[in-house]
């Protein structure tokens, strides 16, 4: 059992990832790479280095500190030669202005538990708890289970937010220790799924079916991505699949583009720059389509 894991964020006062007021822990690393992902720093299994040009004051501290000669300061802030960067992150330590920041920090289960338990009183008052999200939490299964067990011992309500793209056995074990599973369903069509998420979804759909079959408490959530899965065919496929395995409720998570600036900060390309957020009218239309196919949209978060 692994006592240590890699996380990239802890977000307190989260209202939309399970009941009550929650703290969400974002595990780093994801087997998928969905084109619309708004947490690109969560995908890789190693740490990442962000650069923020607006914050740079041009003091050159990072350039001086970089032993690999990977950083140069320009008019548009720090430029990073990613090929040369060895991710020692010394630049992050010396940057006074937060213009260079690391994504990813290694923590032990006990350190992490101590940190998330800071809001215990708020969990108790609100019926909230801790949600493990990512990335894909099941990419660090031993760490995940160890954390869930520790929190359970402390009487904390836990939830896992998963893509379902994980070995069935690992998923089933983790699920035993969590009070709630938030399960993402993106696309049912195999071809589209493979194209947009980089993974085949046989595993995802199979796992969902298996978990439901075993009577696990699951809340299915669909990130609603305009032009990709909000069309009638995709919705119909999703609805038929869900009803076939005995689910008639769905939460929608309408696409947002709050994280696109992160791609620039990581020097990555965002493949869907022209995607617009859905209007309330469009979302309402999706809901009614899903209703037609026998799926109740439980809430929209």
Partner 1 sequence: MSTARRGISERVQKLREQSENTEPSISIQRAALVTEAYRKYVGSVSVPMLRALTFKKINENKVICINEGELLVGERGPAPQTAPTYPELCCHTLDDLDVISQREKISFTVSDDVKAVQEQEIIPYWQGRSMRDKIFEQMTGQWHDCYQAGLFTEFMEQRAPGHTVAGDKIYRLGMLDLKEEIAAELNGLDYRSDADAENKGEQLKAMAVCAEALITFARRHAQKARELASIESSPGRKAELQQIAAVCERVPAHAPRTMWEALQYYWFVHLGVITELNTWDAFCPGRLDQHLEPFYREEIKAGTMTREKAKELLECFWIKFNNQPAPPKVGITLKESGTYTDFANINLGGLKPDGTDGVNELTYLLLEVIDEMRLLQPSTNIQVSKKNPDQFIKKAGEVIRKGWGQPSVFNVEAVIQELLIQGKTLPDARCGGTSGCVETGAFGKESYILTGYFNLTKVLEITLNRGRDPQNGKLLGIDTGDPRSFESFDQLMDAFEKNLHHFIDIKIAGNQVIEKLYAEQMPAPFLSLVIDDCIKNGRDYNNGGARYNTNYIQGVGIGSITDSLTALKLHIYDQNKFSWDELLAALHSDFGGREQIRQFLIHKTPHYGNDDDYADSIMQDVFRRFHRLVDGRKTFRGGTYRINMLPTTCHVYFGSVIGATPDGRAAGSPLSEGISPVQGVDLNGPTAVIKSAAKMDHLLTGGTLLNLKFSPQVLSGEKGLESLVHLVRSYFRLDGHHIQFNVVDAETLKKAQQNPEAYRSLIVRVAGYSDYFNNLSEQLQNEIITRTAHSST
Give just the sign of the alpha carbon dihedral 52, 132, 250, 271.
Answer: positive
Region from 154-162, 225-233, 251-259, 288-296 binding partner 1, contact rule CB under 8 A: 251-259
- Beta-strand relationship, 71-74 and 77-80: antiparallel
C-alpha distances (whole Å) from 77 to each of 2, 58, 80, 92, 137 are: 39, 7, 10, 14, 34
CA distances from 251 to 136, 160, 220, 265 (A): 19, 15, 6, 31
Asked if 16 touches partner 1 (CB under 8 A), the answer is yes
Q: Which of 121, 269, 274, 281 binds partner 1 (CB under 8 A)?
A: 121
Which tokens in the block code for residue 6?
Answer: 């890699």
Given the rule CB under 8 A, which of 90-98, 103-111, 192-200, 206-214 is the region that contacts partner 1? 90-98
- One character per residue 125-164, x = contact with partner 1 (rule: CB under 8 A): xx-x------------------------------------
**282 lies in the binding site for partner 1 (CB under 8 A):** no
Find the binding residues for partner 1 in span 19-58 (CB under 8 A).
Answer: 20-21, 38, 54, 57
Applying CB under 8 A, the site for partner 1 has a residue count of 35
Choose which of 108, 154, 237, 260 interacts with partner 1 (CB under 8 A): 260
Applying CB under 8 A, the span of 41-49, 158-166, 180-188, 252-260 interacting with partner 1 comes to: 252-260
- Cα(170)–Cα(185) distance, integer angstroms: 19
Distance (Å) of CA 133 to CA 8, 39, 162, 169, 270: 10, 11, 7, 19, 22
Minimum CB distance to partner 1 smaller for 194 or for 279: 279
Q: CA 73, CA 64: separation in Å to the nearest integer?
A: 10
Q: Which is nearer to partner 1, 104 or 254 (CB)?
A: 254
Q: Which of 280, 282, 194, 291 is closest to 235 using CA atoms?
A: 291
Binding partner 1 (rule: CB under 8 A), the pick from 67, 153, 169, 258 is: 258
Is 63 an interacting residue with respect to partner 1 (CB under 8 A)? Answer: no
Interacting residues with partner 1 (CB under 8 A): 11-16, 20-21, 38, 54, 57, 59, 61, 95-98, 118-119, 121-122, 125-126, 128, 253-258, 260-261, 277, 300-301
């Amino acid at each position: 059992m692994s006592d240590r894991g890699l996380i990239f964020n802890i977000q307190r006062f989260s209202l939309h990832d399970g009941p009550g007021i929650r703290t969400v822990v974002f595990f780093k690393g994801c087997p998928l790479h969905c084109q619309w992902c708004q947490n690109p720093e969560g995908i890789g299994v190693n740490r990442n280095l962000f650069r923020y040009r607006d914050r740079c004051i041009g003091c050159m501290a990072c350039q001086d500190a970089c032993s690999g000669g990977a950083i140069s300061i320009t008019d548009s802030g720090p430029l990073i030669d990613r090929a040369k960067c060895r991710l020692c992150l010394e630049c992050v330590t010396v940057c006074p202005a937060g213009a260079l920041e690391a994504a990813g920090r290694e923590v032990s289960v006990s350190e992490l538990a101590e940190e998330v338990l800071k809001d215990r009183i708020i969990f108790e008052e609100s019926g909230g708890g801790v949600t493990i999200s990512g990335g894909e939490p099941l990419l660090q299964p031993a760490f995940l289970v160890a954390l869930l067990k520790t929190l359970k011992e402390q009487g904390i309500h836990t939830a896992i937010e998963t893509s379902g793209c994980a070995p069935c056995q690992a998923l089933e074990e983790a699920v035993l220790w969590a009070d709630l599973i938030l399960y993402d369903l993106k696309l049912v069509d195999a071809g589209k799924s493979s194209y947009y998420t980089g993974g085949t979804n046989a595993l995802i759909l199979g796992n969902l079916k298996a978990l439901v079959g075993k009577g696990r408490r699951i809340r299915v959530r669909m990130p609603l991505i305009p032009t990709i899965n909000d069309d009638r065919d995709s919705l119909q496929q999703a609805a038929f699949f869900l009803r076939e395995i005995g689910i008639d409720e769905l939460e929608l998570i309408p696409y947002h583009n709050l994280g696109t600036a992160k791609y620039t900060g990581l020097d990555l390309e965002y493949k869907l720059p022209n995607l617009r957020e859905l209007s309330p009218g469009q979302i309402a239309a999706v809901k009614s389509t899903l209703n037609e196919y026998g799926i109740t949209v439980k809430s929209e978060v």
